[in-house]
């Protein structure tokens, strides 16, 4: 094997009272896919940000081809051939594919040679076996295609180390297969790839080496052949743990919501189901099945055009989120950073936001003691790991951000809770906590809709499973008859 391309040596980093990294080392080799595992808060993001020049280490050093280097900012990382592809691609929607590929080049000059740019963009895509029109506007690309453009951008910058942070979180099984084909192509071309994912089956399919961090410290590193999923999870959480929480059996209560023939033009049609108190109804389907659109219609964000929504026996067309909230329906979005939380605000401010009138005086001033008291209640109830409810949400790990978003909507006292991708991008420990929470809420009498692309999660948590395909409802399975094969068959036929 060739020598390492990048070495992180004894890296330590502290933020205020938090020791984010303590004496962590990581070695990346050309032509190797290196998986980095760890719970949210384990230090993965901090290590990546040091590698890409966003943060500077307090202690330790970085070697490139055995020579010490200093990465002061992101331009330095680019110069050294280090690039990162994040969970949400950084695409400029109003530029075309070729423009996005070359957007980071600073040596193009004042006059753009369009013909040359299109030829070189096409050559890069052909090298990666990517079938995209270089003149197509990025706005219309699928998420998988956007990631392919990001990879092409990295190749145009002569990338030597490619960091991929949760790249499959929003992809269908087919799109994951396409991405893995790209990763193998890059590996064969000698690129060192750092792959971060909470999906164990993907790690063990694509990785050559597996490294685990826990609480900011190095725990283990070994070839994939010497690591088991159970052993990796044990290293991540410090104890034995199943990835999925088993839903307890409980009798369902009275009928809460009936939906009949719900339709939105050119989006979805003929959606029909019931949900009772204490019941978890799972929504399954491939990417593009339009499950989220049904949830948004029920919450009044994108109201349906036709069909009946019968809430506790009364027909109530829902036209706005305010109306849905007054009925007792809450919706937890899949996009916590852009839509679910106000990142610069505190935990307490986020939790109080949907019910802000309850925390303001007649003069419009926020009653901070009341706001803090309810935030403290949810911090204890949901085990939000933070030194203070006044901490900015942006400084929390993904799992704790998810708990804050759940707290925000539970504080609205819903009777029906719609959870869209509730464990997206969070680690195995936080995932088990969210599953346990869903189970407890159902036992307390809430009706819960779980929209998830993680089929084992849907199977583990749901009392019944509604399957959608291309905007149409194609099946509903009771828990006893639902299997992975039956649900996937319905979703794909």
User: What are the pLDDT digits (tens) for 363-419?
Assistant: 888 889 999 999 999 998 888 888 899 999 988 877 788 889 999 999 999 999 999
- In CATH terms, the fold of domain 6-237 is Rossmann fold (3.40.50)
Q: H or E segment at 254? A: none
Q: What is the pLDDT of residue 282?
A: 95
Asked whether 491 and 483 are in contact (CB, 8 A), the reply is no
Confidence of residue 108 (pLDDT cuts 50, 70, 90): low
Q: Tally Cβ neighbours within 10 Å of residue 442.
A: 23
Percent of the chain with pLDDT over 70: 95
Q: What is the pLDDT of residue 269?
A: 93
Which residue ranges make up each domain of the chain?
A: 6-237, 255-492
Average pLDDT over residues 60-88: 90
Indicate the pairing of strand 416-420 with strand 329-332. Answer: parallel
Judged by DSSP in three states, 420 sits in strand
Judged by DSSP in three states, 162 sits in strand
Same fold, 6-237 and 255-492: yes
Average pLDDT over residues 160-170: 85
Q: pLDDT per residue over 18-40, tens digit each? A: 788 999 999 999 999 999 998 76
Q: pLDDT per residue over 249-288, tens digit each? A: 777 899 999 999 999 998 999 999 999 999 999 999 876 7
Task: Return the CATH number of 255-492, one of 3.20.20.70, 3.90.950.10, 3.40.50.300, 3.30.70.270.
Answer: 3.40.50.300
Q: pLDDT per residue over 337-361, tens digit each? A: 778 899 899 999 999 998 888 888 8
Percent of the chain with pLDDT over 90: 50
**pTM passes above 0.85:** no
Q: Where are the beta strands (DSSP E) in 81-171?
A: 82-85, 161-165
Confidence of residue 215 (pLDDT cuts 50, 70, 90): confident
Q: What is the pLDDT of residue 387?
A: 86
C-beta contacts of 263-269 below 8 A and 24+ residues apart: 263/304, 263/305, 263/306, 263/307, 264/293, 264/297, 264/302, 264/303, 264/304, 264/305, 265/305, 267/293, 267/302, 267/471, 268/293, 268/294, 268/297, 268/468, 268/471, 268/472, 269/471, 269/472
């Amino acid at each position: 094997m060739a020598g390492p391309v990048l070495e992180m040596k004894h890296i330590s980093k502290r933020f205020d009272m938090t020791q984010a990294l303590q004496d962590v080392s990581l070695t990346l080799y050309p032509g190797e896919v290196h998986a980095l595992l760890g719970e949210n808060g384990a230090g993965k993001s901090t290590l990546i940000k040091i590698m890409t020049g966003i943060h500077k280490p307090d202690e330790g050093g970085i070697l490139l081809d055995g020579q010490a280097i200093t990465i002061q900012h992101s331009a330095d990382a680019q110069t050294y051939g280090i690039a990162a592809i994040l969970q949400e691609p950084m695409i400029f929607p109003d530029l075309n594919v070729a423009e996005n590929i070359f957007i980071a080049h600073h040596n193009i000059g004042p006059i753009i040679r369009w013909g040359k740019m299109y030829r070189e963009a096409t050559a890069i895509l052909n090298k990666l076996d990517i079938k995209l029109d270089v003149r197509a506007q990025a706005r219309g690309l699928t998420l998988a295609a956007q990631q392919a453009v990001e990879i092409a951008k990295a190749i145009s910058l002569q990338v030597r180390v490619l960091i991929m942070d949760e790249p499959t979180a929003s992809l269908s099984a087919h799109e994951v297969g396409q991405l893995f084909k790209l990763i193998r192509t890059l590996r064969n071309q000698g690129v060192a790839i750092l792959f971060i994912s909470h999906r164990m089956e993907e790690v063990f399919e694509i990785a050559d080496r597996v490294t685990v961090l826990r609480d900011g410290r190095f725990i283990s590193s070994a070839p994939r052949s010497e690591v088991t999923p159970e052993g990796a999870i044990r290293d991540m959480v410090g104890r034995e743990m199943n990835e999925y929480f088993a839903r307890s059996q409980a009798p369902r209560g009275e009928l809460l919501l009936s939906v009949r023939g719900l339709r939105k033009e050119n989006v979805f049609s003929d959606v029909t189901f019931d949900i009772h108190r204490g019941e978890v109804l799972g929504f399954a389907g491939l990417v593009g099945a339009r499950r989220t659109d049904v949830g948004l219609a029920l919450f009044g964000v994108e109201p349906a055009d036709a069909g009946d929504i019968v809430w506790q026996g009364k027909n109530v067309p829902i036209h706005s989120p305010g109306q849905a909230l007054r009925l007792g329906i809450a919706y937890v979005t899949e996009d916590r950073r852009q839509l679910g939380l106000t990142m610069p605000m505190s935990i307490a401010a986020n939790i109080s936001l949907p019910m802000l009138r309850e925390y303001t005086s007649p003069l419009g001033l926020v009653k901070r003691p009341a706001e803090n008291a309810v935030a403290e209640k949810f911090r204890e109830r949901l085990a939000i790991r933070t030194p203070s409810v006044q901490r900015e949400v942006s400084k929390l790990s993904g799992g704790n951000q998810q708990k804050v978003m759940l707290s925000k909507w539970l504080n609205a006292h819903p009777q029906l809770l719609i959870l869209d991708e509730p464990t997206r991008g969070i680690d195995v420990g936080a995932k088990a906590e969210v599953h346990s929470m869903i189970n407890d809420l159902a036992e307390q009498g809430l009706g819960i809709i779980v929209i998830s692309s993680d089929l084992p999660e849907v199977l583990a948590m749901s009392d019944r499973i509604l399957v959608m395909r291309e905007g149409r409802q194609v099946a509903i399975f009771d828990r006893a008859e639902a299997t992975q094969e039956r649900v996937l068959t319905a979703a794909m036929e």
